[in-house]
Structure 1
Amino acid sequence: MMNNQSAPDAMDTQPRLKGLMCGLKVLCYCPLLLALCVPSFAGLPGAGQVKPTKTPAEAAAAYFPNTVLLTQDNKPVHFFDDLLRGKTVMINFMFTTCTGICPAMTANLLKVQEYLGDRVGKDINMISISVDPTVDTPSVMKKYATNFKARAGWYFLTGNKADVDLVLGKLGGFVENKNDHLNLVIVGNVETGEWMKVFAMAKPAEIGDSVLKVAGSK
């Protein structure tokens, strides 16, 4: 079920984004997307006089928390520095005891990982974040990832609930009821600032092609 909660304030980035955010609230549920979906303003009066204050990478670094979370291997990672910086990422939300869409979604994303091949873990990171971190300990996440035969480059993240909730909130993925988590994949290129959302149950090739397009490879 899609979460229609009010989005937190988006990152403080280029001035040209301010008028865009209000118009995208219906289309973009993720505050990240509100901040980074940028049209061309080249034809507007005075557009050439506006100088960006931050690059997309700098804006992302200012927006995303560098909170320490735990992978399925119980390895501490800084969310931004270790997983997002310099990467194209695909991020989804799940929990291991989910009997609804999560198993099918994870199986579908495994096919996406196969489609992307050895790019995953190099310039592309796959990230699944638990919306139930109290139950989903690293060992539980490890068993889940192993059952689905997830390979290197796919990070199943959990950790202290407050830390996980902070990251979920920034991504627009925080929910009070875990069963209400988003069934979307957020795809983004941190360096270029290009972000999009894809239905997690779309055809694997369609999701994979979207990732490659955002990565600048298609």
Structure 2
Amino acid sequence: MGLHRIGCVLLAAMLSTTAAADGGTTAAARGAEIYLRGLALQDQDGRPVDLYRDLIAGRSVVIHTFFAGCGDSCPAMMATLRAVQERLGNRLGPEVRLVSITIDPVHDTPAALKAYARKLGAQPGWVFLTGSEQQVGEALRRLGLFVDDPGAHMDTMVAGNMRTGLWKKIHGTAAGARVVDLIMGVADDTGH
């Protein structure tokens, strides 16, 4: 079984786990921590980040792939994420993170991502990540989002709520309002 297949199987297991009866810590949170910890990347400001510890732990998250030079599906997905950002208001950052991971780390340097984020009007809490080809490849493999050709990247968003264990894979180019509602449903989930 190849590394990509193993990553997809483990991610699927992690995403399908429901809340544990141990006072709020979910099996999904423990699985995500074990599976995603130690993935070092760089944000648009050039700061090193650990994907799990710094961006996912204890909150809801929306993760997707893109590249700044994309003229196909990325603009539609980014428009949808701008709508999510607007709906979240001051919850963006403390409660919910939007995580955009480039699939073209050679061209999408921190400076290029910072300019891209500025152009989108991204607010604090919407993070754009890059790193070495090896770092980005490893992160995307573990998330089940790796592709060899940037032009063939997936239009999938992964939305998860670490407090309740609810995870959903969402087709990012579906009707924008529907995608926003699905993401907000994950972020607002109370586990009841």
| TM-score of the aligned structures, taking structure 1 as reference length | 0.76
- 1:188-199 alignment, distance < 5 Å: 188-199=160-171
Kept in 1: contact 2:14–2:28 (CA 8 A): no
Residue pair 1:33, 1:196 contacting (<8 A) in 2 also: no
Percentage of identical aligned residues:
36
Partner of 1:130: 102
Q: For 1:163-205, what per-residue CA distance to the aligned partner results, in whole angstroms no more than 9, with x for missing partners?
A: 1111100111110111111111110112332211112123444
Amino acid corresponding to residue 6 of structure 2 in structure 1: D
Residues 138-182 of structure 1: CA deviation (Å, up to 9, x unaligned) = 000011111111111100000111111111001111101111111
Structure number with greater Rg is: 1
Of 98, 104, 121 in structure 2, the residue corresponding to residue 149 of structure 1 is 121
C-alpha spacing 1:90/1:30, structure 2 compared with 1 (3 Å): farther
**Is the 2:44–2:113 Cα contact (8 Å) retained in structure 1?**
yes
Stretch moving more, 70-79 or 167-176: 70-79
Residue segments in structure 1 that go unaligned for 5+ positions in a row: 11-28, 40-53
CA contact (8 A) 1:116 1:208 kept: no
After superposition, residues 86-101 of structure 1 pair within 5 angstroms as 86-101=58-73
Give the counterpart letter for 1:65 in structure 2. R
Alpha-carbon distance change, 132 to 158 in structure 1, aligned in 2, over 3 angstroms: same
Structure 2 Cα separation of the partners of residues 199 and 76 of structure 1: 29
**Equivalent runs, 1:1-150 vs 2, <5 Å:** 7-9=4-6, 31-38=10-17, 55-150=27-122
Structure 1 residues 217, 60: closer, same or farther in 2, change over 3 A? Answer: closer
Q: Which letter maps to 1:146? A: R
1:171 partnered with 2:168: no
Number of positions where the alignment pairs a residue of Structure 1 with one of Structure 2: 183
- TM-score w.r.t. structure 2 length? 0.85
Any runs of at least 4 consecutive aligned residues in structure 1 with deviations exceeding 6 A, and if so which? none
Maintained 8 Å contact 1:30/1:171: no
- 8 Å contact 2:66–2:103 — kept in the other structure? yes
Q: Indicate the RMSD between aligned Cα atoms, in angstroms.
A: 2.3
Q: Distance in 1 between matches of 2:145 and 2:48?
A: 21
